[in-house]
C-alpha cells in the first residue's frame, strides 16, 4: 500500500501595519511644543480628538476592517497618558476588528516607539515580512494587503539579493470630509506614506518607520504601480503636514465615485455625513 504524503503549504508571509493615534512623541510632528505636557494638551484637546476620531472611524477603520486578505496585524500606537474616555472610545470602535492591537507607549522619539512596537510584535520572525504605515485619517484600498503580498511573492526571484524592497502605489484621492459628505481630487502622489509597503528580511533591525517615506526609494529598490487607486488621504485643518500637503480643487463625489469609494475602500458617504453631523461625544472622566 502506497502511503500518500500530505503536502503542507508554506505559511503566508506576515503583513504588519502600524498607525499612531495621537501619540505624544518626542519629535515627529511639524508642530513643536516645549514639553510633553504641552504636546499632550494639544493632542488631547476635545475638538481635535473629535476630528481625529471621526476621520479614523470613517476612513482608516473602515478600510482596515474589510481587507480582502484578512491575515494581517494592524498596530495602533497610543500614549500611556491617553485619557480614559478616549481609551474606552478607541477600544469600542476597534473591538470588532480582530487584526487590531492597541499598543501603549510612554513618550519617546516617534521612530523609536514605532520601531519597538513593530519589533515586539514580530518577535523572532524567521521569514520575510511586509510592513506598512498609515496615518489615522487615511484609508487604503480593500485589496492593499492582498496586493502587497502578491507583489512580494511574485518578485521573490528578482529581489533575492536585495536587502529590502519597497512597493509604491501612487494613485488615489485627496479627500475632505464633513457633514455635507466627501469632496475629492484624483491624484498621483510622490511616495506618500499611505501608498507604500516594504518587504523586510527576517532579523532586520530596521522597520518601515526607520525610513522617511518620501525618500524610501533612495534607500532600496522600488516597484511603482500607478494603476489601482490604492488610498484616500484626508485634507483638514489639523493636518500635521499642512505646509507640504497641497491639493487642487476638491469636488463633490459623483454617483459613480460614491459607489467606487464603497467598493474600493469601504468608505460610505452617508456614513460620513452621519458621523460628522453627530454631536461631539462627551469627554467623560479620566
Q: What is the pLDDT of residues 36-60, one digit of tens each?
A: 888 899 999 999 999 999 999 999 9
Residue 233 exposed, middle or buried by CB count within 10 Å (0-12, 13-18, 19+): buried
Sign of CA dihedral 233, 236, 240, 241: positive
Q: How many CA atoms within 13 Å lie on the side-chain side of 76?
A: 22
Percent of the chain whose predicted confidence (pLDDT) is above 90: 75
Q: What integer pLDDT is reported at residue 36 of this predicted model?
A: 85
Q: Which residue has the higher pLDDT, 6 or 98?
A: 98
Q: What is the pTM of this model?
A: 0.91
pLDDT in tens, 207-242: 999 999 889 989 999 999 999 999 999 998 776 544
Q: What integer pLDDT is reported at residue 285 of this predicted model?
A: 46
Q: Report angle CA 195, 212, 235 to the nearest 5 degrees.
A: 50
**CA nearest 233: which of 259, 265, 256?**
265
DSSP states of the chain: -PPPPPP-PPPPPEEEEEEESS---SS-SSS--SSHHHHHHHHT-HHHHHHHHHHIIIIIIHHHHT-SS---EEEEEEETT--HHHHHHHHHHHTT-TTEEEEEE-S--HHHHHHHHHHHHH-S--S-EEEEE--TTEEE-TTHHHHHHHHHHHTTTTTTT-SEEEEEE-EEEEEEEETTEEEEEEEE-SS-GGGEEEEE-TT-S--GGGS-GGGGGGTS-EEEE-SS--EEEE--TT-TTGGG------EEPPHHHHHHHHHHH---HHHHHHHHHSPPPP----
Rounded mean pLDDT of the chain?
A: 90
Mention every residue, 6+ apart, whose C-beta is less than 8 A from residue 69: 15, 143, 145, 146, 149
Distance from C-alpha of 51 to C-alpha of 137, rounded to nearest angstrom:
9
Q: Which residue has the higher pLDDT, 3 or 38?
A: 38
Q: Is the pLDDT of residue 170 over 80?
A: yes
Q: What integer pLDDT is reported at residue 49 of this predicted model?
A: 96
Q: What integer pLDDT is reported at residue 90 of this predicted model?
A: 98
Torsions phi, psi for 224 (to 5 deg): -105, 130
Q: Which residue has the higher pLDDT, 144 or 1?
A: 144
Q: Is the pLDDT of residue 188 over 90?
A: yes
Centre a 10 Å sphere on the Cβ of residue 189 and count the other Cβ atoms it contains.
20
Domains of the chain: 14-277 (3.90.550)
Least confident of 6-20, 145-159, 233-247: 233-247
Residue keyed to cell 459613480:
256
Q: What integer pLDDT is reported at residue 286 of this predicted model?
A: 45
Mean pLDDT of 115-138: 93
Mean pLDDT of 242-255: 79
Mean pLDDT of 155-175: 94
Mean pLDDT of 135-160: 95
Distance from C-alpha of 225 to C-alpha of 267, rounded to nearest angstrom:
22
**DSSP class of 243:** G
Distance from C-alpha of 188 to C-alpha of 173, rounded to nearest angstrom:
8
- Three cell numbers at 164? 529590502
Amino acid at each position: 500500500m502506497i502511503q500518500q504524503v500530505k503536502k503542507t503549504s508554506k505559511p503566508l508571509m506576515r503583513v504588519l501595519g502600524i498607525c499612531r493615534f495621537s501619540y505624544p512623541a518626542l519629535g515627529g510632528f511639524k508642530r513643536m511644543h516645549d514639553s510633553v505636557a504641552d504636546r499632550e494638551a494639544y493632542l488631547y484637546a476635545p475638538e481635535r480628538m473629535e476630528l481625529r476620531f471621526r476621520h479614523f472611524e470613517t476612513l482608516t477603520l473602515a478600510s482596515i476592517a474589510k481587507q480582502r486578505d484578512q491575515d494581517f496585524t494592524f498596530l495602533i500606537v497610543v500614549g500611556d497618558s491617553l485619557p480614559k474616555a478616549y481609551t474606552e472610545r478607541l477600544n469600542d470602535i476597534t473591538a470588532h476588528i480582530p487584526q487590531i492591537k492597541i499598543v501603549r507607549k510612554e513618550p519617546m522619539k516617534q521612530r523609536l516607539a514605532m520601531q519597538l512596537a513593530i519589533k515586539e510584535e514580530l518577535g523572532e520572525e524567521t521569514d520575510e515580512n511586509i510592513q506598512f504605515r498609515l496615518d489615522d485619517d487615511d484609508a487604503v484600498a480593500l485589496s492593499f494587503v492582498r496586493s502587497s503580498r502578491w507583489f512580494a511573492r511574485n518578485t521573490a526571484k528578482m529581489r533575492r539579493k536585495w536587502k529590502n524592497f519597497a512597493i509604491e502605489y501612487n494613485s488615489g484621492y485627496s479627500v475632505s470630509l464633513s457633514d455635507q459628505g466627501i469632496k475629492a481630487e484624483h491624484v498621483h502622489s510622490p511616495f506618500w506614506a499611505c501608498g507604500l509597503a516594504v518587504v523586510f528580511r527576517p532579523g532586520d533591525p530596521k522597520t518601515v518607520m526607520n525610513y522617511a517615506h518620501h525618500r524610501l526609494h533612495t534607500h532600496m529598490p522600488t516597484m511603482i504601480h500607478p494603476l489601482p487607486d490604492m488610498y484616500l488621504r484626508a485634507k483638514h485643518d489639523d493636518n500635521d503636514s499642512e505646509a507640504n500637503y497641497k491639493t487642487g480643487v476638491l469636488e463633490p463625489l459623483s454617483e459613480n465615485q460614491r459607489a467606487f469609494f464603497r467598493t474600493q475602500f469601504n468608505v460610505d458617504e452617508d456614513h460620513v455625513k452621519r458621523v460628522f453631523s453627530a454631536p461631539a461625544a462627551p469627554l467623560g472622566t479620566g
